[in-house]
Amino acid sequence: MIIQSGSMSLVKNTKTKNSLRGISGVNSPGKVQKTLDRIKAKSGVDEYKRAISFIRSSPHHRNNSISREFNSYFPAGLPEVVNFSIVEVIERLNANSEKLTDILELQIDLQNKIQNKMYAPALNTIDQLIQHEGVSCYLLRALIYLENSISVISDRTVEKTPLSEHLERIYKRIKLANFHYLKNIASDLCNDNNDYFNTYRRIIESFDGTPFSHIAKSFVSHISLGAEVQNNYLSSFYSISLIDAFLYIRNTGRYDENFKKYSNEISAQLNNSYERLCSVEMRFEEEPNLNEDDRQLSLAYFRQTFLFIESREAYRYRTIHAALFNPLENKFSAISRYEKDLISEYYKPFSLITDLDVKSGYGLNVEKFNPLLSNSLEKSTALVKFIGSKDGNISKEEEVTFIKLMSTTRDIGIICPTQYFLKLRLNAQSNDMRLVISCLISIKDNSHEAEHELRRVLQDMAVEQFDSNIKKMLEHLFLISPSVTEHLVLICNETFLSKLFRITDRPNKAVEDRAEMLEWFGKVTNNANYIERAKNLRIDVQISKEKGTIDDSRIYVDPLKFTQWISDNILNDLTLFLSGYCEKIPINSITINWKTAQFSPLLKDQIATLLMLCYQEFCTNAIFGVASYLGRRIRHGTFKGTGLKEVKEFLIDDRYIELLQDSDFNQEYNAWIQSYDSMLEQIRNDNLHINGKRKEKGFIYSTINTSSKKFIADHMFIDLYNNYIDNSNTVALPYLITEYCWRIVEEDLTNIQKRLMEMKSKHAIFKSENQRLKKHQSKLVHGFCKEVNSVTADKFRIISSWFKKPSSASPSADLILLFKVIVAENKGYYEDYQPEIEAPGEEYNIKGGQYHAIYDALSVLVGNAAKYGKRNGILIFDIVYTPQSHLLLSIESEIKKTHSMGNIKREIQSRLSGEFKDAHVIEGKSGIKKLRQLEVDSYIYNIDYNYSTNRIKATFRVKAGL
Amino acid sequence: MNILIVEDDGFKYSEIEKLINIEAPSATLQRAENIRDTVMLLNRNSDFPDKIFLDMSLPTHTAKAGEGNPLSMPNGGVEVILELRSLNLNYIPIIILTQYRDIEIEAEYFPFPEARTQLRTLYESNIFTITHYDSENSEWKEDAKRFLKT
């Protein structure tokens, strides 16, 4: 059926004609779609198609906002794919070839200007394109490329430039909001801050068959095979604009004979313009400031190739690498002959795995692969190609190279099919290889089973070769592949180490091993963050030991495990995003849409997404989160036991034997118990859960689902931001996030209490309806009911009290407790250190993250007192709160009788005034240089020493509530 | 017959022990209270159990003063099942006695019959049955008796 457009005469049904006349001039997509749906329901699909064709081309429906052949703004799109055949589409192309050629010419002009970095003129050409109704998916791609280029040259300043203002005007004019989904997907695909495969998966997982989802899929999978897929792509592009349909036909004709054949039926003028468009090269220059490591990681060119897929070079590069750089398990069988030929040609210079293991420079190989000058993407696809060509069977020598290549390739765990990993592991001839492959499998497969296997291999190796010492094993691996080692350091968190049952014989060993591992890795990679985290971990453990055990009578989230989880999983990205987003000025308001933030490429939304992930983990983690607590309560049966036990005991209570011997009353009470029991059962099975697909009646929501939660979440963002710019570090952030997660969950906790009370009043009050007994034994019946109801009220009060934030939930510590922890540590170092402690100051509670600086400073002072002072002398710790909102902290200690105060004074003064820049590296936590470093870093202020005959008093200030 | 009871709850253990003493008085009982103890016991390479009574929610380690809190793993039983498979001991019949109403397998919750199928298929384990343990109910006892008889 060939459908011509533009003329009402082609719409057959009078009712359809009238309906279409009814929406003439209407620009509400909702109304237009409703009318179209009615036509489809009443007159069938063919008439529906004719109606769509009509409104796409009729001048009276220019602003229908759903689908046009030519657009001056982005259409809202059809809700489903309406199939138009290639013949139908070509007929419309040829009917409009002149206008299409004009648009193509403008596109060529635009592409040339972009490639010559003439951004302002390029924006002017876009204005012309809009005037010519050339708004299309192509234009969206060009705009994203321009937006990225403009943001690079404006050096990410937040101030608006004439270019960014022009771009903003264009976005408004073309109603970008209608293309919100495609814009976000396309931006994320080329944004280096986003994981490429996360966006890839998002496209596949959110695929819903709409034209937009087909188009999004075409961004990552531009080679479409099979008539049905090709027709869906074509119809989707056609529904957006004629120019997009034309580009799709021509691009597909590059590899598909059928499309090639049909391309010849398109007007020669149009085809000529297309050829010229393809000739515009997509030049690529990376940011000049990238260092070698960044370059190794750079995927930038590949990620942007889909934006200029018409460019021959970009198309070829994308076709070769996209065929291999994807998470598809069946990639080798899915590769077409066409792709195979391009890949073979491209990789001709490479045949041995050792070709890849060369100390090489960085390069981009668009024409042919050159292992000597290549980038991590090209090496990765080459390695996967090699493994595929060997069908997963490699020699012992090749295994060694394979392991080494883990440091110069990327995402192998995702792009190499599991079947090869399984073969490689089965045939592995060394423990190193077995471990590397298990790591790679666990990247793709996050199942319990894969994790167990990784732990098994890791333990086998540690036990057999390294005396069960994980750190020693990592030291060995680091020499072979720093990247594999880094990966292991990341996954070997405290929870993972706890589950190395053959090595970790007690819970604290996991924490000790973790701290040791972080410290070592920090030293070998010269990364102070790891060292800092090791130190914090040790302090937190010490403090949690001093604090004693958890308060199990209330809902609980283990602060140590949660803050460690944040440090392990969130902090790196959070630091990256904050450093990109933060200006130097504190903020006091922020606008975030917490529901859609995860789909937005904006940095503030990405920060918000990370914060949401934290809250989700806070609620759902089965080991330390709210879910774990709920699980334990349910498991131990405390909930039902608490609620039911005493209520049942009334049945055997001597005082009520007579009453319960009355069969009617007995039956009535038993029936009530049954209903009461069912209510408790329902709360336990359905409500005391984290709300989700499987537990739709769960009381706790792991999302920001209400306005008051949003209010608190906004404040979390503001506090975090201000803390970051105030301190220029992220030490306090995990603790702040923990605190805010409690504030957010408190709304649900209050609701639980309320709902429990509602349920109590509905189902937990026993009232006898037995008139006979009420008449003759009214006192006894009344007393019974009163007592039962008092018991249930009491039980529900207890159950309700579980859903309150526990006092020990926040990671915080009293200053005197911190002082005692440090003294206890020093007693461990110096056996005869038994100072006479005095701590006259008042208790002062400091939040987690704040206490690390104070811990460092006090460690230096107490450490010096222990090392050089009188081992059984006086040690006074004092805290004074000053009117300037500072805390003045002092440590006073006695010197040894054999020491001269004059010498000590000179020594201290010399150290205070000396060079201290290497304090972190050399002194650890024991020296005065470190104290000075803390002062210079503004963690502490006004270090001062006072000397009397035999005592030294050191003081320093910290901000109260810093 | 060697029977291993993996159970951290003392009361529940004594109930199981009582039942076994009646139904299979000649059986030799071994108890492991946490996952580590179970893993170490299975790795000893001798005296493998003939049957296992397995709790699902288990702590990782024994709690000892000053040694930190063990992790509480709601699906710790799965850890034991996986260890059995990696040691090629997955032929040993298991009865799961849990106070939960559903079992978490690979981050999804399944009711008992479905969980049994999942555990058998995914981990090739020899799960005889999964039963709800309730001290006030004798249903679990009937399942345990059947398990001991087979």
Kindly determine whether residue B36 and residue A541, on different chains, have CB atoms separated by under 8 Å: no
User: What local confidence, expressed as pLDDT, does residue A467 receive?
Assistant: 95
User: Is the CB of residue A501 less than 8 Å away from at least one CB of chain B?
Assistant: yes
Q: Which residue of B has its CA nearest to A682?
A: B101
Nearest CA distance, A448 vs chain B (angstrom): 6
Lowest mean pLDDT among A167-181, A272-286, A703-717: A272-286
pLDDT surpassing 90 at residue A133: yes
User: Is the CB of residue B66 less than 8 Å away from at least one CB of chain A?
Assistant: yes
Kindly determine whether residue B108 and residue A508, on different chains, have CB atoms separated by under 8 Å: no
Kindly determine whether residue A498 and residue B71, on different chains, have CB atoms separated by under 8 Å: yes
Cα–Cα distances in angstroms (integers) from residue B109 to residues A235, A692, A694, B32, B104, in the given order: 41, 11, 8, 25, 4
DSSP A241: -
- Alpha carbons A124 and A113: distance in angstroms, whole number: 10
User: Is the CB of residue B123 less than 8 Å away from at least one CB of chain A?
Assistant: yes
- Alpha carbons B57 and A392: distance in angstroms, whole number: 39
User: What local confidence, expressed as pLDDT, does residue A809 receive?
Assistant: 54
- Cross-chain CB nearest to B99 (options A449, A507, A637): A637
**Percent of chain A clearing pLDDT 70 (strictly above):** 90
Q: Best-predicted range by mean pLDDT among A802-811, A909-918, B141-150?
A: B141-150
Q: Which of A434, A635, A649, A681 to mutate to test the interface with B (most CBs of B within 10 A)?
A: A635
For B28-49, what is each residue's pLDDT tens digit? 999 999 999 999 999 987 789 9
Instruction: Please report residues of A whose CB lies closer than 8 A to that of B57.
Output: 631-632, 635
Q: Kindly report the backbone phi and psi dihedral angles of residue B108, in degrees, each rounded to the nearest multiple of 5, phi listed first.
A: -125, 150
Instruction: Please report residues of B whose CB lies closer than 8 A to that of A628.
Output: 72, 74
- pLDDT band of residue A289 (cuts 50, 70, 90) is low
Q: Which residue of A has its CA nearest to B71?
A: A623
For A145-202, what is each residue's pLDDT tens digit? 998 888 766 554 445 688 888 998 999 999 988 888 899 899 889 887 778 898 898 8
Instruction: Please report residues of B whose CB lies closer than 8 A to that of A631.
Output: 57, 72, 74, 100
pLDDT surpassing 60 at residue A802: yes
Exposed/middle/buried for A294, CB within 10 Å: 0-12, 13-18, 19+?
middle
pLDDT surpassing 70 at residue A554: no
And the tokens for B62?
A: 């024994």
CB pairs under 8 A between A and B: 93
User: Is the CB of residue A507 less than 8 Å away from at least one CB of chain B?
Assistant: yes
Kindly determine whether residue B68 and residue A541, on different chains, have CB atoms separated by under 8 Å: yes
- Sequence-distant contacts of A543-552: CB under 8 A, at least 24 apart: A543/A813, A543/A817, A543/A818, A543/A821, A543/A851, A545/B66, A545/B68, A546/A813, A546/A817, A546/A820, A546/A821, A546/A824, A547/A808, A547/A813, A547/A817, A549/B69, A550/A806, A550/A808, A550/B69, A551/A806, A551/A807, A551/A808
User: What local confidence, expressed as pLDDT, does residue A3 receive?
Assistant: 46
More reliable by pLDDT, A543 or A325: A325
Q: Which of A434, A438, A449 to mutate to test the interface with B (most CBs of B within 10 A)?
A: A449
User: Is the CB of residue A780 less than 8 Å away from at least one CB of chain B?
Assistant: no
User: Is the CB of residue B117 less than 8 Å away from at least one CB of chain A?
Assistant: no
Nearest CA distance, B116 vs chain A (angstrom): 16
Among A784, A751, A748, A752, CA closest to A766: A784
A592 touches A521 (CB < 8 A)? no
Instruction: Please report residues of B whose CB lies closer than 8 A to that of A504.
Output: 36, 61
Name the residue with tokens 């479409």: A224
User: Is the CB of residue A208 less than 8 Å away from at least one CB of chain B?
Assistant: no
Q: Is the dihedral of CA B8, B14, B15, B18 positive or negative?
A: positive
For B77-99, what is each residue's pLDDT tens digit? 999 999 999 999 999 999 999 98
- pLDDT band of residue A2 (cuts 50, 70, 90) is very low
User: Is the CB of residue A905 less than 8 Å away from at least one CB of chain B?
Assistant: no
User: Is the CB of residue B79 less than 8 Å away from at least one CB of chain A?
Assistant: yes
Instruction: Please report residues of A whose CB lies closer than 8 A to that of B122.
Output: 449
Count of CB atoms situated within 10 Å of the CB of A768: 20
Instruction: Please report residues of A whose CB lies closer than 8 A to that of B32.
Output: none
More reliable by pLDDT, A598 or A469: A469
Instruction: Please report residues of B whose CB lies closer than 8 A to that of A507.
Output: 60-61, 63, 67-71
Kindly determine whether residue B61 and residue A498, on different chains, have CB atoms separated by under 8 Å: yes
User: What local confidence, expressed as pLDDT, does residue A448 receive?
Assistant: 92
Q: Which residue of B has its CA nearest to A456?
A: B86
Instruction: Please report residues of B whose CB lies closer than 8 A to that of A702.
Output: none
User: Is the CB of residue A511 less than 8 Å away from at least one CB of chain B?
Assistant: yes
Cα–Cα distances in angstroms (integers) from residue A220 to residues A280, A591, A827, B20, in the given order: 22, 32, 61, 60
Instruction: Please report residues of B whose CB lies closer than 8 A to that of A634.
Output: 99-100
Span A729-753, average pLDDT: 87
For A354-412, what is each residue's pLDDT tens digit? 888 887 677 888 889 988 888 889 999 999 999 999 999 999 999 999 999 998 888 99
Specify whether the backbone of A889 is left (phi greater than 0), alpha (psi in -120 to 50) or beta.
beta
- Alpha carbons A409 and A419: distance in angstroms, whole number: 20
pLDDT in tens, chain B (150 residues): 999 999 988 888 999 999 999 999 999 999 999 999 999 999 987 789 999 999 998 989 987 766 777 888 888 999 999 999 999 999 999 999 998 778 889 888 899 999 999 999 999 999 999 999 887 778 899 999 999 998
Kindly determine whether residue A511 and residue B68, on different chains, have CB atoms separated by under 8 Å: yes
User: Is the CB of residue B106 less than 8 Å away from at least one CB of chain A?
Assistant: yes
Instruction: Please report residues of A whose CB lies closer than 8 A to that of B35.
Output: 499, 501
Nearest CA distance, A642 vs chain B (angstrom): 14
B137: Cβ contacts below 8 Å, ≥ 6 apart: none
Q: What is the mean pLDDT of chain A?
A: 85
Predicted TM-score of the model (pTM):
0.71
pLDDT surpassing 70 at residue A432: yes
Kindly determine whether residue A449 and residue B100, on different chains, have CB atoms separated by under 8 Å: no
Kindly determine whether residue A635 and residue B99, on different chains, have CB atoms separated by under 8 Å: yes
Lowest mean pLDDT among A260-274, A280-294, A316-330, A862-876: A280-294
- Cross-chain CB nearest to B72 (options A628, A685, A694): A628
User: Is the CB of residue A682 less than 8 Å away from at least one CB of chain B?
Assistant: no
For A265-278, what is each residue's pLDDT tens digit? 999 999 999 999 99
Dihedral through CA B19, CA B24, CA B29, CA B31, nearest 10? -30
User: Is the CB of residue B83 less than 8 Å away from at least one CB of chain A?
Assistant: yes
Q: Which residue of B has its CA nearest to A509?
A: B67
Q: Which residue of B has its CA nearest to A694?
A: B109
Q: Which of A506, A561, A652 to mutate to test the interface with B (most CBs of B within 10 A)?
A: A506
Nearest CA distance, B50 vs chain A (angstrom): 23
User: Is the CB of residue A693 less than 8 Å away from at least one CB of chain B?
Assistant: no
Kindly determine whether residue B71 and residue A623, on different chains, have CB atoms separated by under 8 Å: yes
Kindly determine whether residue B69 and residue A507, on different chains, have CB atoms separated by under 8 Å: yes
- Cross-chain CB nearest to B60 (options A456, A507, A636): A507
- Alpha carbons A334 and A167: distance in angstroms, whole number: 40
Beta strand ranges found along A258-380 (DSSP E): none
pLDDT surpassing 90 at residue A457: yes
Q: Vertex A360, ends A357 and A366: CA angle to 5°?
A: 100
- pLDDT band of residue A791 (cuts 50, 70, 90) is confident
